[in-house]
Chain A
């Protein structure tokens, strides 16, 4: 027993926290990539996550395309849409204050969510988990749905893969260089606008990937993104704006903290992340992993 909570129950809650942390990590990773390289605060991230889930649903119901293909196709489609948005609209705002990017993406999110609400209603639609991942295993201390275990593994692979790509590959080096000094990088013959478009598409595709992962767990609804996006922003701020590793580590960590809060003081579970954010901002304004600290 720890503070009146049986150890076994606590283990279960830790694991559940880790599962939620997987979603936080994936989403905040996308946001951090976009902010780190484009300096755009992407408020459309929740809508892109929702789009990912809905496209998976539509692929299944209209096209008969199963979960595994949707897991690849849906992020590709959302990434492509994001690339179009970046090319035709968002790129015009880079020269202006950051606030314009924020307002634009916020408006975009409202428009996308409103459209889906019009066609699908607020209560949304269910999406069944793939047959290979249904059922659950008894771990002794808890009943772990196999699908949830898959969420943790899939998100870890994608997070680590993305981090390696940006930190360790040549493409990643171009990306990082382009944000430091775009003019200089362009003078070396690198197509910087294309890099930025790819980055925005990548961030959006990560959100869509999280959306497909979430579809069998949560109700696929137009509101699913807006319920999550504010928490994810807090995760990015705690991790340090633009810090990719920070976003990943903080995502998992805050998922666990939130899980524990749900056991000890459930009423505070939706504010605990913001309390931590406030403390971190006071002590380390650049975030836990921020460069300026």
Chain B
């Protein structure tokens, strides 16, 4: 069932010195993510398209060698993902794997790539472990993580007076990590956590859990889950009169793709954190519209993050004059990240790409003036506040 979509990037022409060395005379990037399951809209095929856009915008060639992007569906299973990654590295001359939605997959492929001495840039998974205890000299984490989400959404709501929290948490590693990060942050801001309930992944009916959250009397109900689970929880919360009763919902991982699926009617008033919004500046809008023409959807932070990651990787190869892993990784750590996604990004020693994140509020349907015009940007959270200080991340590579 595994299917590979091959794509050879458009050929461009850039004159580069002939002494540059590129292994196998091609730079090959693999986009490995969920294309058929719950996260197929969160990243999915659109991430592949974002990577191809980055290659085209770069000119299609680096150091005179053509750039190729390939993709596969890992079905959210770490074992399948590891098999594909191994095959890509061993027989298909893939130089780097990116996107890697889902924390379990992200950690597995990053560990495998460390063994194989290959670069991974994770733009789709959330866990801070990737740049924490399990960090890798060749592993990078772009776009967002659970800490940034906690600081963004958690911080904003506590500031508004939402000082007591109850969590609805997806019962696996990602949910725990998101709940823990948010709880810690809420407490550090003087708030309290009155309780939590753990629900199985892919629950369809949340009414029991929502009634428990309602009974807790907490001012904020934190949804430490993702994708369809969050959508269903939000939809059903309004049905049971939870938001009308004065309790506020915090969707801790929610992007414009899910907002569009849920519809502005049900999503209005939600606070959420993303590191990208297409309608924020003229440059992001231009990128968003180009992306929309190719995919039929506007980019979320995973898609724009993937564009940024591919671009940064290619720039590092160019600067290093080779695609050899050690040299490219060194350049990636060294070079600033400046593109449509990150205005003033930098890569820390633990592999975390630090750039600004934004606190959003979903507009009411009558305020929306054009399709996909869903957000008001309430605040810009500087990257250094949003992400863990690398020295405290627990990553052994930070001295």
Q: Which residues of A are interface residues toward B (Cβ below 8 A)?
A: 6, 9, 12-13, 16-17, 19-20, 114, 117, 121-126, 128, 136, 142-143, 145, 147-148, 217-219, 221, 223-224, 227-228, 259, 262-263, 266-267, 269-270
Contacts and interface: CB of A to CB of B under 8 A. Distances in A.
Nearest to B34: A122
Nearest to A122: B40
A218 B241 CA distance: 16
A142 B266 CA distance: 22
B211 A224 contact: no
B204 interface: yes
Contacts of A123: 41-42, 227-228, 231, 257-258, 260-262
Nearest to A17: B208
A121 B263 CA distance: 14
Interface string B210-244: 01101100000000000110011001100111000
A265 to B, nearest CB: 10
Given A145-B239, A219-B235, A263-B212, A126 B41 contact: no
Interface stretch (B183-191, B195-203, B387-395): B195-203
Given A123-B228, A227-B204, A266-B209, A218 B257 contact: no
B38 A266 contact: no
Nearest to B210: A16
Nearest to A269: B200
Interface residues of B, number: 43
Given A123-B231, A128-B265, A266-B208, 7 more contacts: A6-B215, A9-B211, A121-B44, A122-B40, A123-B42, A123-B260, A227-B202
B40 A136 contact: no
A8 to B, nearest CB: 9
B263 A125 contact: yes
15 contacts: A9-B211, A17-B208, A122-B44, A122-B227, A123-B257, A124-B261, A126-B262, A143-B245, A217-B239, A218-B205, A218-B235, A219-B231, A223-B38, A266-B208, A269-B200
B37 interface: yes
Contacts of B266: 126
B363 to A, nearest CB: 16
B144 to A, nearest CB: 18
B223 to A, nearest CB: 14
Contacts of B212: 9, 262-263
A114 B36 contact: yes
Contacts of B257: 121, 123
Contact of B262 (A142, A147, A219): A219
B199 A121 contact: no
A16 B202 contact: no
Contact of A262 (B208, B228, B245): B208
Nearest to B255: A123
Interface in B33-53: 36-42, 44
B207 interface: yes
A145 B240 CA distance: 6
- Nearest 3 pairs between A and B by C-beta? A123-B261, A262-B208, A122-B40
A136 B242 CA distance: 11
Given A121-B261, A259-B208, A9 B215 contact: yes
Contacts of B235: 126, 217-219
B38 A122 contact: yes
